[in-house]
Structure formats: structure tokens, C-alpha cells
Amino acid sequence: MEELKSFNLKAFFFYFFKSWRVLLICLILSTAIALGATFANPPSVREASISEREYKQLVSDFLTSDEEGKLFFENRELVRKNNYNLRRTLSEDLYFQIDPTKRMNKSFVLNFKFAEDVANDVSTEARTARILSLRYMQALQDESFVLQMVEKGRVPLNEVSIRHLIHMEINSDGLLFVEVTGPDESLIDAILYDIRDYTEVMVHADIDPMGDYMLMFTDERVDIVEDPGILQLREELERMIALGEARIEEIDREVELAVNTKHKLVSTPGQSNEVKDLSTRTLVKRALMGFFVGLLISIFWTLIRYWKEIGEFDVKKASYALNLLYLGVLPMDTAIDKDRRGNALDLLIARCFKRAYDASEAETAMAYTAELIIGKVNAMIANNTVTSTNLPSQEASLQLLVPGTETDRVRTQLIEQLQVVFDKTVVPGAITLKPIGSFAGDPTAFQSMQKTSALLYLWSNNDTTEKRMLEYQLGRHLNVPVIGVVEACAMY
């Protein structure tokens, strides 16, 4: 039955304004505390001879017009660009993304097989191999090779990233040793493919158009090594960036000192003296802050204090769901519990939200409910659900127990008012309404059920689900006739 319960926004605003005394106390106290704290510890403001905007203009003019300022500006731009390049290297260079504990290196040796008529002896062949290796290394280090790799798109890297991943040297045999590393094997293989393709298609065709020798890729190998130098290099770049930032701050301070000296300023806006501010604007600002804090506190208090009333339970839908007859709504005068109605403001709030108690409306609702109960009782008598004669002429009293109302002064008063209507409508004493205790923990309530004729449920929208379900289950399983459900609506 919890799905029949919902948050009633209108009820929230009613109880919020109904608790206007608590609201007023919260607003006054929080505003007073905020103003008291302001007087005890006034906010600090900085006092400057010129505004921040004017000072920035002086600095800008100094850097663009003054010779000394231009020198400061050039030095600062130089450091800033260097830091930018270092940060770009850290973010874009894939060398720093290699796992230093499992760095993969793939390498090969660029070898040459000469025709028999090209080299006469071993020394001549070795010298020719060294010359060719040097020319191939220069060609692979040329910008055209890198640009061709980028244009192909197989290796989505910039020029800096590619150069850092390729290592070349001429070994003791005069042959070109090429090693490629990278963050993953597929990237390494793509770079190796482009190197071989470029050397065979472009470089070889340009150096040896006659085909006097053949290119061979020998001594291919794969190595997995640890390389803590990656982390060390990263830390060194980060240290250089930090030094650059510190140098920029130092130049900014030197610029401020130069501007202050040139214009004979005692202090800059960032270095001005602090003064205490107790202006009207500050006091109004703090008072508004206290006001809103008090408003939030009163809202939380209302939610906690009247949560059951705000989270309303739909009694009519619950009656339909349990197949019980819904007999109508009876206005419940809650002022009886406090022996006073409240002042004019309380009555005005209740009227605005249609929660004001009206005796004439209550009398009409009770007469209607009484007629429904009498009709239901006559129908139950006709169906032999209860043993009695027709109500207008019966001699024996038909007792209707109303559980969960014995200790509730307001509900007991409501039952007494309904009893008066019964006595006027039928033979006095023909129907007797008897308030009893709750079925949850009151043994006398069960003893009363043994002598009763039927049950009448008096539910309100803030009753617990446990109360409703326990009353319904006991009436059903103990085979006690149930007249129906009367909803009690709290009025003020």
C-alpha cells in the first residue's frame, strides 16, 4: 500500500506557513547571528591607489612601449614557448606511453648483396657498404621520409613522435642497424613496413638505378627489455616545465617592480593593504545570507515535523484496493486537542488552503456519512451478515467498534459527534459507536471484538500502513463484519 502514498506539495506549503512562528524565529535568529558575526569579524578588503584595470593597462603599456619592458616580454615569451613545446612533447610523443617494464624493440640490419663485377675484394666491398649505409641513413633521417609516412596515414603520428621511435646507427661491419620501438606492436610493425617500403621503392631506386646490388634485411630480432630511462626522461621534462613556470612568475614580479618604480606606486592591487569593511552593502549582504539560511532551516524543520502529513496516503484508493466501502470524509477539528483555535493569522492561513474547520460543513458531512452507514447496516442485516431487525424498529443495540481511537482525543470527539447524528436519525441507542484501542499491543481491543456486531474503520491520510493493514486483516480473518471506511480529515 506504500504506492498509494505521495508527496503533497500543497500540504507542505500549508504546514510551512502554519508554522509561521518557527519560521519567524529561524529568520530572526539566523539574521541576527549573521550580523553579529559580521560585526565581530568584519570582512577584509584590499585598498589600492589604482584599480585593477588601470594597473593592467600600465603593465601592458610597459611591455609594448618601454625598451626594458620589451626585453621582459621577449624573455617571458621565450620561456612560455619552451614550456609549451615541452608539454606538447609529453602529451603527443608516444615514446612516453611505452611500458618501461616491458619495452618492445624490433630491429634489422640493412645489408647489401653486390654483383660479382662491382667489388673486386673484401676491403672494397666493406668500404662501399659503409658509404651506402651512410647514404641510406641520411635518406631515412631526411624530412621527406617522415612527411611521406605522415601522408600515407598508416602511422598516425607527427614528425617528432616518429623520430623518437626510430633509432639508426652504422655497426662495426659498416651496415645500417635500424631499431623501432613504440607503445604497441602493431604500431612498430607499421613503422617497419614504411621503412622497408621507402628504402626499396624510393631510396634504392634513386641511389642504384642500374641495380648493381640487392637490398637485404638481415638479423631481424625482437627484444623485450626494461627501460627506466623513460620515466627518468619524463620526470626531467616535468622538472624543466616547473622551472619554466617559476621563471615566468619571477619575470612577472620583476615587471611589477619595474612598473611600480617607473610610476612611483607604493603598492599594486595584488599587494595592497587590507582594511575592514562594515559598509551598508556588506551588512545587507550578510543579513540576506542569514535570512536564506533561516529559511532553509525552517523548510527542513517543516519536512521533519510534518513528514507524515505531507506524505499523504490516499484513503479512498486504499479502500477501493481492499474492497471496502468508502463512506466519505469527516472534518476533524484538531483545535479541540489544544483547546484553542489560534489567532487571526492562523485562521487566515487555514482558509487560504481550505483547511479551516466549518461547523455547518461538518454537520452536513456527518449526516451524509450516517445515512451511508445506516444503509450499509440494513443491507448486511438483509444478507444475514449481522443478526438484527430493521434499524428503525429494532430493540437491541447494534454496536460498531472503531479501532485505534480510544486514546485519541480528537478522534473520540469526532465519534461522539457522529453518535449524536445517529441518535437523531434512528432510534436512540439503535447504533452505538464505541472507540477502542489499537489492535497493535492492546489486548482489550480484542476482547471488545467478541461482543461486537461490526467494525467501522476511521482512517486519516497520515495513519501508518501497519495500522490500516492490521485492522483490515483482523476483521477479515476473524470473520468480523466490516461496515466500511470513514476518512478523517484534519481541519484547523
CATH classification of the domain holding 132: 3.30.70.100
For residue 178, the model assigns a pLDDT of 95
| Domains identified in the chain, total number | 3
CATH of the domain at 464: 3.40.50
For residue 220, the model assigns a pLDDT of 92
In this structure, are 387 and 260 located in the same domain? no
What is residue 148's DSSP assignment?
Answer: H
For residue 273, the model assigns a pLDDT of 53
pLDDT surpassing 70 at residue 288: yes
Residue 13, Cβ neighbours under 10 Å: how many? 15
In this structure, are 473 and 445 located in the same domain? yes
Confidence of residue 261 (pLDDT cuts 50, 70, 90): confident
Report the mean per-residue pLDDT for the chain.
82
pLDDT surpassing 70 at residue 341: no
In this structure, are 155 and 127 located in the same domain? yes
For residue 393, the model assigns a pLDDT of 44
Alpha carbon of residue 16 to chain centroid: 28
In this structure, are 175 and 70 located in the same domain? no
Q: Which of 128-137, 262-271, 472-481 has the lowest mean pLDDT?
A: 262-271
In this structure, are 57 and 189 located in the same domain? no
In this structure, are 81 and 116 located in the same domain? no
Please give the Cα distance from 418 to 265 (Å, whole number).
Answer: 88
Q: Which of 204-208, 213-217, 455-459 has the lowest mean pLDDT?
A: 204-208
Q: Which of 75-84, 338-347, 410-419, 422-431 has the lowest mean pLDDT?
A: 338-347
Q: What is the pTM of this model?
A: 0.45
In this structure, are 401 and 268 located in the same domain? no
Confidence of residue 388 (pLDDT cuts 50, 70, 90): low
For residue 380, the model assigns a pLDDT of 82
Task: List, in sequence order, every beta strand (DSSP E) within 67-128.
Answer: 103-114
pLDDT in tens, 367-384: 999 888 888 888 887 777
Q: Cα-flanking dihedrals φ and ψ of residue 331, to 5°?
A: -65, 130
- Sorted by sequence, the CB contacts under 8 Å of residue 187 that are 6+ apart come out as 94, 155, 165
For residue 335, the model assigns a pLDDT of 75
Residue 14 inside a domain? The answer is no
In this structure, are 109 and 163 located in the same domain? yes
Span 284-311, mean pLDDT?
A: 87
